Amino acid sequence: MSLKVLCDRILADGRSLEGVILKVDKFINHQMDPYLMKQVAVEFIRRFSDLRVNKIVTVEASGIAPSIMLGYMMELPVVFAKKKLPSTMQEAYVTTVHSFTKQSDTQLMISREYLTADDHVLFIDDFLAYGNAALAICDLCRQAGATVEGMGFIIEKEMLHGRELLQKEGISRIESLAIVDSLENNTIHIKED
Ligand code: 5GP
């Protein structure tokens, strides 16, 4: 089941760019709509209510807004993987992620202090596209001995098959609040329930 208010907003304010990129910077990743983020967080809480997690993990920058809203409501700490190693971070788990949207490799890192073998992680991000960012988080969790209990995405671009990649990696709980199955011809098509 998709989140209707989100789907309506994507259709009203989203833009399809070159058939692969969905521009949502009017309400998700540049200008942000906190009330929509709240509705997103409430839906994630409903969908993941059976999971036992003690930490939310995301990637900077666009994953931070939904994650902090969710962390606030669930009263859980939120850790975001950084793209640059701060001089103050002594020891970190580091991995490389390939971005098809930017056509480049980026390093992601999380301090050893904030991801440990005691952690049961819920990963949250704005988009599931090819699944590489999510796989990189799996790698960081593996390095730390942490368990990924589930993954939640605001928008999934189904035609890029990221979900299948993550399922092959052993992630069984994947929830996306809106599933886009085509961006062809500058038209956004959202999968019906
Ligand atoms: P993946 O690693 O799954 O290919 O891509 C996930 C990351 O790329 C997300 O964190 C998101 O920030 C970015 N991304 C992927 N597709 C889109 C898109 O269509 N629009 C926007 N705005 N960001 C995207």
Query: What's the pTM?
Result: 0.97
Among 25, 104, 126, say which to mutate for ligand 1: greatest number of ligand atoms within 8 Å of CB.
126
How many CA within 13 A on the CB side of residue 91? Answer: 7
How many whole angstroms from 96 Cα to the centroid of ligand 1?
Answer: 15
Q: What is the pLDDT of residue 178?
A: 98
Cis peptide before 133 (omega within 30 of 0): no
What Å distances lie between residue 143 and 39, 107, 135, CA to CA? 33, 15, 12
Q: What is the pLDDT of residue 120?
A: 98
pLDDT digits (tens, 9 = 90+) for 161-170: 999 999 999 9
Check if 95 has its Cβ closer than 6 Å to any atom of ligand 1. Answer: no
Check if 131 has its Cβ closer than 6 Å to any atom of ligand 1. Answer: yes
Check if 114 has its Cβ closer than 6 Å to any atom of ligand 1. Answer: no
Q: Helix 64-74 vs helix 34-47: angle between axes, to the nearest 10 degrees?
A: 60
Residue 193: pLDDT above 90?
no
Averaged pLDDT, 25-47? 98
Check if 132 has its Cβ closer than 6 Å to any atom of ligand 1. Answer: yes
- The DSSP element (H or E) to which 141 belongs, if any, is helix 132-144
pLDDT digits (tens, 9 = 90+) for 96-155: 999 877 789 999 999 999 999 999 999 999 999 999 999 999 999 999 999 999 999 999
